[in-house]
């Protein structure tokens, strides 16, 4: 209907302006132009289904997804083992599923209400040994974002990969479905690490405050591994009155740095005197997506992830204070990995 109205207006404008010798009031011309603009504007909305709010131009029909899984570091085939993968419709209802993946493909019907969007859900299992790399996966042309949600309400987030297929176009002669390829990037999961080349702080003054630093670096990773820090504790030894040193400000935490991540007192919060420690929940038990990532890139060298614990100190007497840095990693199965401890000594003379 709208194209017919637009054509009639053009004919009217031609007859009155061109054939009529251009004799038309400016207000009349302006009115016709306004009407044409309104028609063009309305034409843009004619592709919207006002009952559902969805576009009439997005793909609806049979769709097959072929899933390609690669290792981030070199692009080689690297399939997630012991995980459950399902595709759900655009409603994001965990139970409104297109189906479970059969091997590395799935075929289903794109509904009108999907508005071109499906979600691939990766549900990590007990023996899953790798992570989805969200940033790399989001580079696929069909992937619009990767995020976490606990769709099955098991207390641990799944990875949701949002895929947009609205611009596939209509089926043509000989087609019974559209077929696409989606690539996701994976990394071997590292749920533990070791610390090496550690230093301690010595010569701490008993008369004036100064800055002191302990350093080291992370080992135990292989190139391409991805670890996600879940929780950090700085525990102070409780020999004598040593546990009160941070509380009395004989030891003031400046920062802890691990592999490019910096943790300051504002992140740790108030020193917990009853447990003699600073503690920081980097993410939370359900949200591994909130963990701080440690990725060992190719050819990054042994010093790819250094550590630094810095304090501003003045001890009341010659003494030795022991501070242990405890680091917890997420595991794909939803359980925190074993604690890795870095023990530092702070000695006054």
Which pLDDT band holds residue 128 (cuts at 50, 70, 90)?
Answer: confident
Interval 153-172 mean pLDDT: 92
Interval 281-286 mean pLDDT: 76
User: Cβ distance 129 to 122 under 8 Å?
Assistant: no
Is the pLDDT at 1 greater than 50? The verdict is no
Interval 255-275 mean pLDDT: 94
Interval 220-228 mean pLDDT: 94
Summarize the chain as % helix, strand, coil (round to 5): 15, 45, 40
Q: Return the residue matching tokens 């043509």.
A: 172
How do residues 302-339 score in pLDDT, each as one tens digit? 999 999 999 999 999 999 999 999 999 988 877 888 78
Could you tell me what percent of the chain has a pLDDT over 70?
A: 83
Report the 10 Å Cβ neighbour count for 18: 9
Kindly list the distances between the CA atom of residue 345 and the CA atoms of 201, 203, 213, 257, 320, in Å, as whole numbers in the listed order: 6, 11, 10, 17, 7
pTM of the model: 0.80
Q: What is the pLDDT of residue 61?
A: 94
Tell me which DSSP letter residue 30 carries.
H
Q: What is the pLDDT of residue 34?
A: 52
Tell me which DSSP letter residue 336 carries.
B
Kindly list the distances between the CA atom of residue 129 and the CA atoms of 33, 240, 263, 292, in Å, as whole numbers in the listed order: 64, 44, 28, 18
Measured CA to CA, the distance from residue 248 to residue 319 in angstroms comes to: 15
Interval 3-28 mean pLDDT: 52
How do residues 32-86 score in pLDDT, each as one tens digit? 555 554 544 444 444 445 444 445 578 999 999 999 999 999 999 999 877 889 9
Is the pLDDT at 134 greater than 90? The verdict is yes
Average pLDDT, the chain: 86
How do residues 6-18 score in pLDDT, each as one tens digit? 444 444 554 555 4
Strand, coil or helix: what is 79?
A: coil
The least confident of 85-94, 114-123, 277-286 is: 277-286
Which pLDDT band holds residue 19 (cuts at 50, 70, 90)?
Answer: low
Q: What is the pLDDT of residue 266?
A: 92
Q: What is the pLDDT of residue 245?
A: 95
Could you tell me what percent of the chain has a pLDDT over 90?
A: 65
Q: What is the pLDDT of residue 28?
A: 56
Which pLDDT band holds residue 286 (cuts at 50, 70, 90)?
Answer: confident
Q: What is the pLDDT of residue 42?
A: 47
More confident position, 286 or 221 = 221
């Amino acid at each position: 209907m709208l194209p017919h109205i637009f054509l009639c207006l053009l004919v009217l404008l031609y007859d009155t302006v061109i054939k009529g010798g251009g004799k038309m009031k400016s207000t009349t011309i302006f009115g016709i132009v306004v009407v044409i603009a309104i028609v063009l504007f309305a034409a843009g909305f004619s592709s919207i289904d006002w009952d559902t709010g969805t576009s009439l131009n997005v793909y609806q029909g049979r769709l097959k997804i072929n899933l390609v899984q690669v290792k981030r570091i070199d692009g080689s085939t690297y399939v997630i083992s012991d995980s459950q993968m399902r595709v759900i419709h655009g409603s994001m209802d965990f139970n409104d599923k297109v189906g479970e993946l059969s091997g590395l493909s799935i075929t289903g019907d794109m509904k009108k209400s999907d508005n071109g969007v499906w979600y691939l859900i990766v549900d990590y299992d007990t023996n899953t040994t790798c992570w989805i790399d969200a940033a790399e996966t989001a580079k696929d042309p069909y992937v619009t974002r990767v995020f976490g949600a606990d769709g099955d309400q098991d207390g641990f987030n799944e990875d949701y990969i949002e895929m947009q297929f609205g611009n596939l176009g209509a089926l043509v002669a000989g087609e019974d479905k559209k077929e696409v390829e989606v690539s996701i990037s994976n990394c071997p999961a590292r749920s533990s690490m070791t610390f090496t080349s550690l230093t301690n702080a010595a010569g701490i003054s008993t008369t004036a405050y100064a800055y002191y630093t302990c350093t080291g670096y992370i080992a135990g990773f292989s190139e391409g591994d991805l670890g996600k820090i879940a929780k950090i504790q700085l525990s102070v030894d409780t020999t004598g009155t040593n546990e009160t040193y941070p509380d009395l400000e004989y030891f003031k935490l400046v920062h802890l740095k691990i592999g490019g991540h910096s943790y300051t007192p504002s992140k740790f919060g108030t020193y917990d005197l009853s447990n003699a420690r600073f503690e920081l929940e980097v993410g939370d038990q359900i949200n591994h997506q909130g963990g701080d990532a440690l990725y060992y890139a190719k050819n990054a060298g042994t010093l790819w992830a250094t550590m630094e614990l810095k304090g501003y100190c003045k001890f009341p007497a010659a003494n030795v204070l022991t501070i242990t840095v405890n680091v917890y990693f997420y595991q794909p199965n939803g359980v925190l990995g074993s604690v890795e401890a870095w023990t530092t000594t702070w000695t006054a003379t």
